[in-house]
Structure 1
């Protein structure tokens, strides 16, 4: 939907938060600390209290988790900033907030569909460059690839976001399902052949209950593919994802979902409840996110990580890196406070503490911090945290920014639905997706003339 802000004027909505200045009068005789010494400065007056909101556009996190991980640490660091953490409920939620005028100050999304369907969709971009200069923010402390992923969101070198945490590339598995069927737990280093054989052994119907060996977020399988498939040709105006390498890669994975008993047309595309609530899935890639303690509670302590499968000819190579990013809506009335919050969430202080607590995977250039993941959390005691990230990420495709990215991605994801759920021929699905994407791009271009 190309909906604009309606009655809101973005230009007039850009209002900087005026913070209280430092105190000025000389110390008086009643000021014991400064009595008799007119040269000493008074303590700074407390900054004016402000309230900002952060919308975490991630459906796997609960309200308690969002408050604990984002809101509370910011307020502890900056007592004058009260933070309201908004938890994702449904796809219409942000649109309803825009219509009502209750637009969040900050939003945490992914740099792909998340950014396109939130900030970009409602033309809410804010270039952070002036704030980076104002606050002497050290952008060089962040992972270069992660920063590159947000740089690619603009055409004129604007920086609309900061990477805030890295998405894991791992498999969660439920030991209870393995134990039920007497199957040995998975080991790190599996390739897709190994995963296929393991999933086959775990896909069973037991007393009318259908169990499946493995499920994964289709968005991440497609977009973060391990062959680093480009979306577009060199012009950025025609899709170019119909390649034999990409199709062969997907066939290797899709055969799992063709095993007897999978019946993919009978289950929703949101697979996490089948793993967390129903406990009828043995292994899952949960959409490039860490599952919180609240989500994992039903599994007790009977779960663990194993490494994401690699291609047989590329052992140890996982998916492409995918940081979650934090962006500021240009309607925020407290931009300076909002940037202070962004800066803190991406600081070494916060990132190290969050890593040790096991709440986030860091986006810092210093990779030694990753080894400290979960050391202060009982949730990860004895867990295989080394499997959270691959030995090596697949390269991010080197392609220019395209304003038609969302259009291309939507058609790309449709291939999964057609092939896996509707049992369409993969070559036909790719051809139709290519034709549909290019047609829509031409329609968009024609509409601008």
Structure 2
């Protein structure tokens, strides 16, 4: 996904000027109550810091593990605080998305603020004792968390240690079903419907455009692995309370693997070289352009599609709602919140908190929406402005993004990510070796249990 970072920078450079002008012309979408609340917070923040000397402060900000560009950093953080807190300067710390935080600790270069996924912030960084509890700062500066969307507030509270709040949200990353209209037109097949589909329905639709034509292998749809669909059923591999495997005890996993098996059995789906995954290669959709549908998060594809447009390549595509299982239609996956944390090692924690709290202001939230990120505060008017400053989104069915709600998160067991490889391995065996679903699940659970024994003695 490093390619996306470069792409998104190019995209954002174009749109931020327009966004800034829109705000200057008084085109803000926030309602009066929201503005009043924000002004109240500003007043209390000013009061709290009135006795302190406003000496120049430079804060380092690191993006770790998620796609946030330097241009977005400037728009949402650095530039956004210049007028309100002119004594604060933010310094962008560039790092690859797979950055390891431990070397930074040993080198003594831990930043003041980290931009990360909520799960990483509240698990990996908490385990390293890096995360400052924001609870006292929220009270001190009068930040009204009730302005947040309920699912966002629930997510950051659920993942935080009991009695603490580890992060404030940056944006909500929603999943959708992207589809290539040209492929459907080529084979005379109707587009995905604007109402939410089940996974089975999307697989059946994809079957109609999974064909070999003119020497090209067209793939209608790839389920994109177990995790992409399991959170729609609130599944974890390990029971969060007991740490025991749920693979054979929870019937939801049988549903997940049956869907995977059905997708692998579509004629012409498995490639001649044994290829059985396509969705993980993002560029197959926008470069190779032979994938009919892709169920993925918004943040991963908007940038590349805008870059193509700038190059004069207009891919004919659109959105449909993200699929789910029949019993949970109306919702998509567990909530995915990009977040901001203050590190315990920072020498300027108050200023760092003021920076991240400012992201919840009406002005920054509108800028987020207009430039392709989902706001975290409750304001339906902002959803109407989603992507308004991104040309490639003009004329798209933006309303389909918001037809499903993210599901409440369930805080996973600490070893969840360590055993995920065995579930992925089971999917691979079903695809390439044709083993039956029950055997695959049973073998995966055996491997999980063996791994747990090792983890419990080494950590």
Indicate the TM-score class for this superposition, using the shorter chain for normalisation. Answer: 0.7 to 0.9
**Could you say which residue in structure 2 is the equivalent of 1:18?**
none
**Could you say which residue in structure 2 is the equivalent of 1:39?**
none
* Residue 184 (structure 2) pairs with residue 214 (structure 1): no
**Could you say which residue in structure 2 is the equivalent of 1:382?**
395
Matches within 5 A, 1:2-401: 47-59=55-67, 63-65=70-72, 67-75=74-82, 78-86=85-93, 89-92=96-99, 94=101, 97-98=104-105, 100-112=107-119, 114-115=120-121, 118-120=124-126, 122-189=128-195, 190-218=197-225, 220-224=227-231, 226-233=232-239, 235-242=241-248, 243-263=250-270, 265-266=274-275, 270-287=280-297, 289=299, 291-298=301-308, 300=314, 302-355=316-369, 357-397=370-410
8 A contact 1:217–1:271 mirrored in 2: no
Q: 2:414 aligns with which of 378, 403, 416?
A: 403
8 A contact 1:203–1:213 mirrored in 2: yes
8 A contact 1:186–1:306 mirrored in 2: yes
Q: Structure 2: which 5+ residue stretches go unaligned?
A: 1-48
The farther-off stretch of 338-347 and 434-443 is 434-443
- CA 1:176/1:95 → structure 2, altered by over 3 Å: closer, same or farther? farther
Q: CA deviation at 1:125?
A: 2.3
- CA 1:169/1:294 → structure 2, altered by over 3 Å: closer, same or farther? closer
What's the secondary structure of 2:338's corresponding residue? Answer: strand
Q: CA deviation at 1:77?
A: 5.1
What's the secondary structure of 2:330's corresponding residue? Answer: coil
Q: Structure 1: which 5+ residue stretches go unaligned?
A: 1-20, 24-43
- In terms of fraction of residues, the more helix-rich structure is 2
8 A contact 1:107–1:326 mirrored in 2: yes
What's the secondary structure of 2:299's corresponding residue? Answer: coil
8 A contact 1:56–1:85 mirrored in 2: no
What's the secondary structure of 1:82's corresponding residue? Answer: strand
The farther-off stretch of 298-307 and 261-270 is 261-270
What TM-score does the superposition give when structure 1 sets the normalisation length?
0.76
CA–CA distance in 1 between the matches of 2:433 and 2:107? 38
RMSD of the alignment, in Å? 3.4
Q: CA deviation at 1:343?
A: 0.7
CA–CA distance in 2 between the matches of 1:423 and 1:75? 59
8 A contact 2:179–2:320 mirrored in 1: yes
- CA 1:363/1:382 → structure 2, altered by over 3 Å: closer, same or farther? same
What TM-score does the superposition give when structure 2 sets the normalisation length?
0.75
